[in-house]
């Protein structure tokens, strides 16, 4: 009887660890089983995992299940949303894997720590590098005018500063304005609305 209980306990423990319920390493090897935990607030030390099987150039966000480029600054300064969304992100190969895209406005906002009032508003202890300030393209079109797309700032742009706002507004999709891009990868392509 004891042997059967010990075997069952070991199997349940292994299953929970495989589903992501256990501790996460800062630089993990092997399967990650990214079970999103939208109902939890994870500290950056366990929320973000640098993916060594993707050449340590991508980061898994365990809260959302999204995989982000670790160094988004390498994709900075692009104008014209249509060219950006169809040429730049889809043609990135990280760890010999394609399937990258621009994030939706909502996905981009999940990276922001709204309690930060100055500087880049990413959670303390995040593993990202080369993150630039300024505006970032998103794949979300303005509901009232499909020729406009939302752009997000990684720093608080509100006046007064007591009311944080990170959605800067919209920009014409055919604009030649040079904005940043932070490519993302996910199991499902989100509806950019």
Q: Express each pLDDT in 18-34 by its tens digit.
A: 444 444 444 544 455 55
pLDDT tens, position by position, 143-168: 777 788 888 888 766 544 444 567 76
Indicate the burial class of 101 (C-beta count within 10 angstroms; 0-12, 13-18, 19 or more).
buried
Residue 176: pLDDT band with limits 50, 70, 90: confident
pTM of the model: 0.74
pLDDT value at residue 15: 40
CA 179 – CA 84 distance, rounded (Å): 10
Distance of CA 144 to CAs 70, 84, 147, 150, 191, Å? 33, 22, 9, 12, 16
* Percent above pLDDT 70 for the chain: 64
CB 157 within 8 A of CB 140: no
With a cut of 80, say whether residue 16 has pLDDT above it: no
CA 157 – CA 129 distance, rounded (Å): 22
Residue 81: pLDDT band with limits 50, 70, 90: low
Mean pLDDT over each residue of the chain, to the nearest integer: 74
pLDDT value at residue 174: 76
pLDDT value at residue 2: 47
Residue 47: asked if its preceding bond is cis (omega within 30°), the reply is: no
With a cut of 80, say whether residue 99 has pLDDT above it: yes
pLDDT tens, position by position, 83-93: 566 677 888 89
């Amino acid at each position: 009887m004891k042997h059967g209980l010990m075997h069952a306990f070991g199997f349940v423990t292994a299953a929970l660890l495989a589903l992501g319920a256990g501790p996460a390493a800062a630089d993990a090897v092997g399967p990650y089983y990214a079970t999103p935990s939208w109902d939890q607030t994870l500290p950056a030390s366990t929320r973000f995992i640098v993916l060594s099987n993707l050449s340590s150039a991508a980061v898994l966000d365990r809260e959302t299940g999204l995989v982000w480029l670790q160094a988004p600054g390498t994709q900075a300064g692009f104008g014209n949303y249509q060219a950006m969304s169809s040429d730049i992100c889809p043609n990135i190969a990280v760890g010999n894997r394609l399937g990258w895209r621009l994030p939706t406005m909502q996905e981009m906002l999940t990276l922001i720590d709204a309690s930060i009032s100055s500087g880049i508003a990413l959670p303390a202890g995040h593993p990202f590098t080369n993150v630039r300030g300024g505006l970032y393209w998103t794949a979300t079109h303005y509901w009232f005018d499909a020729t406009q797309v939302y752009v997000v700032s990684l720093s608080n742009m509100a006046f007064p500063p007591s009311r944080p706002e990170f959605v800067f507004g919209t920009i014409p999709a055919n604009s030649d304005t040079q904005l940043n891009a932070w490519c993302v990868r996910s199991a499902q392509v989100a509806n950019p609305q």
